[in-house]
Structure 1
């Protein structure tokens, strides 16, 4: 009996020592992880940490503590994606990217499928983007025309004039249609680039301007380049300011260059 008690006492003592050691290691690990998440937020200028999200929001099945190398690799894919997002936002290169290209890139970020965030990869990526910035800008104009001013019967673009009408600005419940306001934000983005002006933040876009206004139906919203009148049936009547007309001519010339066969059809009409 005494022998059993001695063995039990010895086992408990070693277990308590091991527990204290584990607690110390876990505490150090948590402090290091906290420091890593704070550093990530500080560098990427984000209010949330992709690392913390990865570890706490249901992604646990992607890693195992018994395979630390695989775990680190999995975590860094998400951290790298956040860093790519930050450097793309801070560089201003998004201003030249078409809406589709931005959506494709955002999807890569969301799925953590971006390349490793390493100097050689960064240089190569930005060299390619910078070299293709004019083509990307034109792609953005074509993408915008395809959604805003396109004759689908002839599959030809239609010249944007001083006044256009956009449909589905409000849905059947009277709520603002984000897809339509995103399209109009793209128009503001392209006109801002051609105007040599900073691009307005998306958070201050037309969705917020219309949604947060005193009334959505019969709302009047002004941007630097056009005025929108919102009607009950969900349409938006857009009148471009004088300063925007020369900028629209640049857009129309891009379309005429890409679609020379459409010149005969380049007459303004409702979008």
Structure 2
């Protein structure tokens, strides 16, 4: 029986494989499944098994799974087709009779106003309906999500946003990977729903201050309305749909969608989550 990481060639998946190895999980018990041949080759060099898997290709998913496996389904990035892709993986898991399926969902999926939530709620419903033993890893925000804003602030001295005084309990991908690897490699997590987020929920004013420290120049937070935010993003070159989506995310932050901090992430990872400043510093290079 293996630990199969579906989505292992993504940024989070690669870190989960690394964490499993650092926790002493034998390399031959890990199957890194993903689309990128280059990334799979790098993971193979670490001694783990690999499988070329495309969520749009049911046969490739079927071939990667065996009875009794533990499967981590990292949510797909193709927003238009994500629910169908998730259904493909879940159906394959049922056919293979995997022993445990874990899914990377979104923070407070069943109650949040977050615009990203519906696909994750649907995936959770599909997994519950499958009858397989499950664990939901409801991930909050990645500090790395602010890399582009950090680089823009280097040039403009401004962090533009419409989150108001909303707070974000972010953590680094490495923090999330550590917690996920802990769940994958220890017993007793079936049926649990973990709300994973950082230890401190910060405001955009705090984020601007952290930008100032990291960049070594003053950065101010320019708080605007959602409509003004969307227009500014369009003026910067984004299409209207993407600009509206990003402004909606800030609106969700203002509503408190990413402020929840339960301590689950630090407890599972076995250490405090990475402070905002420490998470931003590697992004400034």
What's the TM-score once normalised by structure 1's chain length? 0.28
Greater Rg by CA: 1
**Structure having greater relative contact order (Cα 8 Å, sep ≥ 6):** 2
Of Structure 1 and Structure 2, the greater strand share is in 2
Of Structure 1 and Structure 2, the greater helix share is in 1
What's the TM-score once normalised by structure 2's chain length? 0.27
